[in-house]
């Protein structure tokens, strides 16, 4: 049999390459916007963005459209985009929406049932987060490791729901400033009272796992909503500590009172 059937066509290879460049452009532009390289209300030039990211203008067009769909950019007439600014209420609303979607995912997981493997992975994440508090490493290293396992824990909740619709909805809202579960983790050691809040969050992780395992849908939905309010408390602390807030990714997009 000829090996020609197993060879990728030039068109297929080009499609893969273009897809990779587009994803690179999306991630690069999102990071640049959140870090303030392109300030709020600034009109974005395709040429400037392409030069900054080192990619061609074609994937930049796709990246601009994607970030507009996510809410980080706003389309302006007759054509083009500007970086959006976010009020404190916008950020609080984004955190609320993220918590509501995660709570829905947890309820779906509990009601539909979850494999022993996913439950064990969730327990492993919770245990590794707890272990960071007994680790002799620096606060920065401890929080870096905590963030890895915390991100995985929240991803497992969505995976356990088994819903692509829910996953896409969460992915969209989590890209907004401070809406992701790890938005404040890097600053926890510098926010007064924040480490105590983190300990409370870890206790909630165990309760969430137990409720999913018990297939208690209404209980786990309430638990996850309460868990998301941890982010609201951290936001309030950060807003009272501007030096800490300014060090966080996304801070340049906040409208200052």
The domain that contains 144 carries what CATH number?
A: 1.20.120.530
In this prediction, residue 72 carries a pLDDT of 94
- Inter-residue contact 228 to 103 (CB < 8 Å): yes
**Using one digit for the tens of pLDDT, what is the confidence trace for 10-65?**
566 555 666 788 999 999 999 999 999 999 988 898 999 999 999 898 999 999 99
Q: Which of 30, 51, 83 is the last residue of a domain?
A: 83
**Using one digit for the tens of pLDDT, what is the confidence trace for 106-146?**
999 999 999 999 999 999 999 999 998 777 777 778 888 89
Reply yes or no on whether the pLDDT at 2 is more than 60.
no
Question: Is the domain of 114 the same as that of 225?
Answer: yes
183: Cβ–Cβ under 8 A, 6 or more apart, which residues? Answer: 177, 231, 234, 248, 249, 250
In this prediction, residue 3 carries a pLDDT of 55
Reply yes or no on whether the pLDDT at 104 is more than 60.
yes
In this prediction, residue 8 carries a pLDDT of 54
**Using one digit for the tens of pLDDT, what is the confidence trace for 175-211?**
899 999 999 888 887 888 877 888 899 999 999 999 9
The answer to whether residue 233 is domain-embedded is yes
Burial code of 84-112, b = ≥16 C-beta within 10 A, e = fewer? bbbeeebbbebbbbbbbbbbbbbbbbbee
The answer to whether residue 2 is domain-embedded is no
In this prediction, residue 141 carries a pLDDT of 84
Question: Is the domain of 38 the same as that of 143?
Answer: no
Question: Is the domain of 151 the same as that of 178?
Answer: yes
- Inter-residue contact 52 to 89 (CB < 8 Å): no
132: Cβ–Cβ under 8 A, 6 or more apart, which residues? Answer: 142, 143, 145, 146, 149
- The boundaries of the domain holding residue 173 are 88-253
The answer to whether residue 4 is domain-embedded is no
Binned at pLDDT 50, 70 and 90, residue 79 comes out as confident
Question: Is the domain of 19 the same as that of 75?
Answer: yes
In this prediction, residue 17 carries a pLDDT of 63
Reply yes or no on whether the pLDDT at 95 is more than 90.
yes
213: Cβ–Cβ under 8 A, 6 or more apart, which residues? Answer: 114, 119
The answer to whether residue 195 is domain-embedded is yes
Please give the helix or strand (H or E) that residue 75 lies within, else none. strand 73-75
Number of domains in the chain: 2
Mean per-residue pLDDT, 60-73: 93
Burial class, 184, CB count within 10 angstroms (exposed 0-12 / middle 13-18 / buried 19+): buried
HSE, CB side, 13 Å, CA atoms: give it for residue 205. Answer: 28
DSSP letter (8 states) at residue 37 = S
The domain that contains 27 carries what CATH number?
A: 1.10.10.10
In this prediction, residue 25 carries a pLDDT of 94
Q: Which of 57, 83, 109 is the last residue of a domain?
A: 83
Question: Is the domain of 22 the same as that of 117?
Answer: no
Question: Is the domain of 108 the same as that of 222?
Answer: yes
Question: Is the domain of 79 the same as that of 101?
Answer: no
The answer to whether residue 5 is domain-embedded is no
Q: Which of 83, 110, 134 is the last residue of a domain?
A: 83
**Using one digit for the tens of pLDDT, what is the confidence trace for 143-166?**
888 999 999 999 999 999 999 999
The answer to whether residue 102 is domain-embedded is yes
Question: Is the domain of 105 the same as that of 217?
Answer: yes
Question: Is the domain of 79 the same as that of 94?
Answer: no
Rounded to the nearest 5 percent, the helix, strand and coil shares of the chain are: 70, 5, 25
Question: Is the domain of 174 the same as that of 93?
Answer: yes
């Amino acid at each position: 049999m000829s090996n020609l059937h197993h060879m990728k066509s030039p068109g297929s290879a080009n499609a893969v390459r273009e897809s990779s460049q587009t994803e690179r452009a999306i991630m690069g532009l999102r990071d640049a916007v959140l870090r303030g390289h392109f300030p709020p209300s600034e009109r974005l030039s395709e040429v400037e963005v392409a030069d900054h990211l080192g990619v061609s203008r074609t994937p930049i067009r796709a990246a601009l459209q994607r970030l507009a769909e996510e809410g980080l950019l706003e389309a302006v007439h007759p054509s083009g985009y500007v970086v959006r600014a976010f009020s404190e209420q916008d950020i609080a609303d984004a955190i609320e929406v993220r918590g509501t979607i995660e709570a829905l995912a947890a309820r779906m997981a509990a009601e539909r049932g979850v494999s022993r493997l996913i439950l064990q992975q969730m327990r492993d994440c919770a245990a590794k987060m707890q272990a960071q508090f007994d680790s002799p490493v620096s606060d920065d290293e401890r929080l870096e490791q905590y963030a890895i396992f915390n991100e995985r824990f929240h991803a497992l909740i969505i995976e356990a729901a088994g819903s692509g619709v829910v996953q896409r909805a969460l992915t969209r809202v989590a890209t907004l400033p401070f809406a992701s579960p790890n938005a404040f983790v890097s600053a926890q050691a510098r926010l007064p009272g924040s480490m105590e809040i983190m300990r409370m969050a870890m206790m909630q992780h165990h309760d969430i796992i137990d409720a999913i395992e018990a297939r208690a849908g209404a209980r786990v939905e309430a638990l996850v909503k309460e868990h998301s309010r941890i982010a609201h408390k951290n936001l309030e602390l950060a807003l009272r500590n501007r030096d800490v807030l300014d060090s966080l990714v996304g801070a340049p997009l906040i409208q200052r009172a």
